[in-house]
């Protein structure tokens, strides 16, 4: 049964020996090898991860090749979902465990952080182009450009000084937590990357908090009680929320203006333009999350 379609397809496979989660990739053997090494390290450290099925004829790690595609298989996970407060405490502790696996000595945020940081001339050019095309979000961009530039200036400063760079899961989201009989399991390790531990912890808490300040606080409290440090960013603790918002905004604007091909998740031109407007309207709230 096909259960997910995207950059990688996924299926649920029922057999006489049990249920399995099968993931297929068109490419990515070398990056996935690094991902599997980190996932193995997490599993060895006691972090709840899916149980892989090792192939008889591996291509690399527990990847096998069938035709022109790579596949890996996990045992299917199912179980009762615990109460929200248990998930919050588990999430805070688990993030800290992941962040302790591979701390990196050099300060400074990785390159992927910087895609959201554009110079004033770029935003001015996008406004001029949108105005010439009479796009519905042009005036919104003009009005919010000062806030955008102030936010990007803050992000640029953080990029140079972040002291707590770690290798991390990279995709802590609600759909990547599943529940076994023993409790929550962190799945989908394909996005392993480097990041600031504190800034990732804050963004993850913001995502899982879903507008509930007390839940955000519970996640971050669990992170700190497990030994995490959230002090260095000061008022910019939630800067990664701003970064993500600006990154999505720039991607949508570029697609709307024809500078890049629209990703599948963006939809048709009208949908893209609506999304640009919504992101511009929501910018002040996303730029300065409050607890």
Could you give phi then psi for residue 39, rounded to 5 degrees? -60, -40
Q: Does the pLDDT at position 288 exceed 50?
A: no
The candidate with the shortest Cα–Cα distance to 273, out of 264, 262, 283, is 262
| Distant-in-sequence, close-in-space partners of 171: CB < 8 Å, separation ≥ 6 | 188, 189, 190, 191
Mean pLDDT of 188-200: 94
pTM score, two decimals? Answer: 0.88
- pLDDT interval class at 2 (50, 70, 90): low
Q: Which helix (H) or strand (E) holds 10?
A: strand 9-15
Picking from 27-31, 57-61, 277-281, which range would have the lowest pLDDT averaged per residue?
Answer: 27-31
Give residue-wise pLDDT tens across range 122-166. 999 999 999 999 999 999 999 999 999 999 999 999 999 999 999
Give residue-wise pLDDT tens across range 78-103. 777 666 556 899 999 999 999 999 99
Percent helix, strand and coil across the chain, each to the nearest 5: 50, 15, 35
So what's the pLDDT on residue 267?
Answer: 93
So what's the pLDDT on residue 84?
Answer: 56
* Mean pLDDT, rounded, of the chain: 89
So what's the pLDDT on residue 156?
Answer: 95
In the DSSP assignment, the letter for residue 23 is E
Picking from 61-70, 108-117, 254-263, which range would have the lowest pLDDT averaged per residue?
Answer: 61-70
- pLDDT interval class at 198 (50, 70, 90): very high
So what's the pLDDT on residue 285?
Answer: 54
Mean pLDDT of 210-222: 91
Could you give phi then psi for residue 25, rounded to 5 degrees? -125, 145
């Amino acid at each position: 049964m096909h259960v997910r379609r995207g950059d990688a397809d996924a299926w649920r496979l029922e057999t006489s020996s049990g249920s399995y989660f099968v993931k297929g990739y068109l490419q990515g053997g070398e990056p996935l090898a690094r991902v599997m090494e980190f996932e193995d390290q997490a599993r060895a450290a006691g972090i709840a991860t899916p149980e892989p099925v090792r192939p008889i004829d591996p291509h690399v790690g527990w990847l096998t090749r069938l035709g022109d595609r790579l596949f890996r298989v996990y045992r299917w996970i199912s179980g009762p979902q615990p109460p929200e407060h248990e998930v919050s405490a588990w999430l805070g502790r688990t993030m800290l465990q992941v962040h302790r696996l591979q701390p990196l000595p050099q300060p400074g945020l990785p390159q992927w952080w910087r895609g959201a940081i554009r110079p004033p001339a770029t935003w001015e050019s996008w406004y001029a182009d949108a105005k010439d095309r009479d796009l519905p979000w042009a005036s919104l961009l003009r009005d919010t450009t000062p806030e955008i530039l102030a936010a990007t200036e803050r992000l640029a400063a953080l990029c140079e000084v972040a002291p707590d760079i770690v290798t991390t899961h990279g995709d802590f989201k609600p759909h990547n937590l599943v529940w076994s009989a023993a409790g929550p399991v962190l799945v989908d390790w394909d996005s392993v990357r480097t990041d600031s531990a504190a800034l990732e912890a804050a963004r993850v808490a913001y995502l899982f908090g879903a507008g509930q300040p007390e839940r955000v606080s519970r996640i971050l409290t669990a992170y700190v009680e497990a030994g995490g440090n959230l002090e260095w960013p000061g008022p910019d603790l939630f800067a990664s929320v701003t970064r993500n918002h600006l990154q999505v905004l720039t991607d949508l604007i570029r697609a709307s203006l024809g500078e890049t091909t629209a990703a599948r998740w963006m939809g048709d031109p009208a949908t893209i333009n609506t999304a640009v407007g919504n992101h511009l309207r929501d910018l002040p709230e996303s730029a300065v999350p409050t607890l």
